[in-house]
Amino acid sequence: MIEKLTVKDLINIGIFSAMYIVTMMVIVTVFGSVPILYLIVPLPVGIGCAVVYSLLVMRVPKKRSSASFINTVVGYVCCNKLDSCTILNFLWIDC
C-alpha cells in the first residue's frame, strides 16, 4: 500500500526546504566572499545541506517526501535566480 503524504508531512517538507535554502545561502555567502575559497564552496555546501536532508529523511520516512523536497528547492533556486544582489536586497542593503 502506498503511504500518502499528510499535511504534517508537507509542513515538515516546507520547513526543511527553507532550512536547506538558508543553509546553502549562508555557506555560499561566507565562502564566496573570498575568491580563493570560492573554488571549494561545493564541499561545505554539500556537507551542510546533507545534514538538513538527512534530518528530513529521518523526520518524514516516506518515499514521496524526498521528491517533494527536491522539487521545492530546485523550483525556488531556479525561479528566483539567487545571486548576491538578490540576497543583499533581501537584507535591505543597496548593491
Interval 79-86 mean pLDDT: 58
Which uninterrupted H or E stretch holds 46? helix 42-59
34-78 tens-digit pLDDT: 888 888 888 998 899 899 988 988 998 887 777 777 777 776 666
Residue linked to cell 545541506:
49
Please state, rounded to an integer, the average pLDDT across all residues of the chain: 79
Residue 19 structural domain: 7-90
Q: Rounded to whole angstroms, how far apart are CA atoms 66 and 78?
A: 18
For residue 1, tell me if it sits in a domain. no
For residue 73, tell me if it sits in a domain. yes
Indicate whether 89 pLDDT > 80: no
For residue 22, tell me if it sits in a domain. yes
Q: Rounded to whole angstroms, how far apart are CA atoms 78 and 72?
A: 10
For residue 74, tell me if it sits in a domain. yes
Q: How many domains does the chain have?
A: 1
